[in-house]
A and B are shown apart, each in its own frame.
Chain A
């Protein structure tokens, strides 16, 4: 459906997008995640043919966006970062205009516009001038514009910006509904949004793809190990002794702040093994009651923060930056190393406290 190969965009010497490749099948929702200036909008502008790439190939539905722009653009609906609205038009006039330039058939036009206005809940402002609408409504008109003609690919740049929580949920449901027969790419820096609706997440920073996976797999694999947070009553030495008898545990971390004889600690094990039962019996044998036990699977938010911040620490010099870019294998190796580093950093952090 969408195929992107070795996309590079340079602004003078500045690399905005650096060797980005991915494919997307029909009916999938892809989420672009990254801090401001990561190259999300640039990538989307290239995908939609608004700006051209320095290098690389983009094919939409088999049509190259650079060689057959009109054919490719017929398959795309695009909501840019700033909704492209004509302020002096009414909502209906505007959607009519968009339907015209997307060459929607005359006899279907009215019906389609009415349906889309119902979907995006803007029917009651249809006769108002766009400049008089609130930001949330403008955003929804922008979304309606992207859906017009029901193109096969819908690309949304931060679709829920400026909406209130209720509207965000509505728009999310709408996107999910649309994904049944459309391929959708959306970008966001709201992580819960991406993890809630996307089938696939791509985290980009400084134009480079850092990681690409399903939201579930991301949080599972990135840490490299599973953690268990425990609050146990008893002496630290006893607890340590009891837990060290369990072979699956790879690492123990004690937090310094223990109140009222309750020790807080984290126990890490290899990815697959479940140590909860063993921990329970070991501690009960040592007569140390467990007050709290929960797994510390990293949320998407943690991963995002760690990955995007770690990168900056790891690549202090430009040279290492280049090296990193060169081989994908290295990329993965470094990711694994990163996972460890994250754990180390966490422990340091805790000791500071």
Chain B
């Protein structure tokens, strides 16, 4: 794992990617910092990070697009996956390498509130809490990018899909407000979702019985709950989609709260997507 970590990290700095990422990141954060904090003379660094969180939509795809896609294209994955290193270790080695590039930028950003301290009192706890939240947000997005990169051998496809997915998660908060919240529409929506899952199951396993059984049980359960307690469905769609709004959790940090559930949420996202990446690679080997 260490060997893969070192190799990946080095490749970020032998190619341009690592430098470009850090430079862009620091420039954009720097502009917001100059405008918000220095020119408007506000002491709250968290405003900068909350304003700048769109940055991930642009920069994470650049950082993660080549991670797995390039290996598959160059066939170097044959070396990795036939070496006595488990897939999980290979994936975590790669993940920690990208994370390190991101952390290098974050370490530099840690000095910004200290600069403000020269001019007066700064709410340092909120500032560093927000930096922590920002780092976790980035870590979660990087894991999503890594997962998408493992699905394709084209860096371009990987970058575009990552861009769209991260954009959707960022807009999710405002999108869900347009969704209907009454229990009937929610029931119908979930009915369709279960159907889709069954179709996915079938296309992956080519096993009619498994897909049908899962479908019938799922739909039956949904209907029973709807008949017995329709109140459960009220606003459920908004709630469920809210879970996917990765960026919403970041707001708790910027408002000065260190919410444990948000920390756990981000760490779970990282684990889930690393797990999915390993599964995607295993699946690819089966086909």
Contacts and interface: CB of A to CB of B under 8 A. Distances in A.
Interface of A: 11, 45, 48-52, 69-71, 73-74, 76, 78, 80, 82, 84-88, 97-98, 100-103, 145
A155 to B, nearest CB: 9
Contacts of B79: 78, 84, 98, 101, 145
Given A84-B74, A88-B14, A51 B285 contact: yes
Interface string B7-22: 1000100110000000
Contacts of A145: 79
Interface in B119-172: none
Interface stretch (B54-62, B81-89, B96-104, B258-266): B81-89
11 contacts: A11-B287, A45-B78, A49-B82, A69-B86, A70-B84, A78-B82, A86-B7, A88-B11, A88-B15, A101-B83, A102-B83
4 shortest A-B CB distances, which residue pairs?
Answer: A100-B3, A84-B79, A73-B84, A48-B82
A86 B82 CA distance: 15
Contact of B78 (A11, A69, A78): A78
B80 interface: yes
A103 B2 CA distance: 10
Contacts, number: 65
Contacts of B286: 51-52
Contacts of B11: 86, 88
B80 to A, nearest CB: 7
A280 B75 CA distance: 60
A50 B85 contact: no
B94 to A, nearest CB: 12
Contacts of A84: 74-80
B4 interface: yes
Given A11-B287, A50-B285, A84-B75, A97 B3 contact: yes
A100 B5 CA distance: 11
A73 B286 CA distance: 18
Contacts of B75: 80, 82, 84
Contacts of B85: 70, 101
Nearest to A96: B3
A85 B74 CA distance: 8
Contact of B82 (A50, A71, A82, A88): A50
B83 A73 contact: yes
A308 B14 CA distance: 48
Given A50-B81, A101-B83, A102-B83, 17 more contacts: A45-B78, A49-B81, A70-B84, A71-B84, A73-B84, A84-B75, A84-B77, A84-B80, A86-B76, A88-B11, A98-B79, A98-B83, A100-B3, A101-B3, A101-B4, A101-B79, A101-B84
A78 B77 CA distance: 12
Interface in B252-287: 285-287
A52 to B, nearest CB: 5
Contacts of B14: 88
A100 B1 CA distance: 9
B74 A52 contact: no
In this complex, the member of B6, B11, B82 whose beta carbon has the largest number of chain A beta carbons within 10 angstroms is: B82
A69 B81 CA distance: 10
A114 to B, nearest CB: 19
A140 to B, nearest CB: 16
Nearest to A78: B82
A94 to B, nearest CB: 9
B260 to A, nearest CB: 36
A74 B84 contact: yes
Contacts of A78: 78-79, 82
Interface in B1-59: 2-4, 6-7, 11, 14-15
Interface in B173-200: none
A78 B76 CA distance: 12
Contacts of A80: 75, 78
A273 B15 CA distance: 70
A147 to B, nearest CB: 13
Contacts of A70: 84-86
Contacts of A71: 84
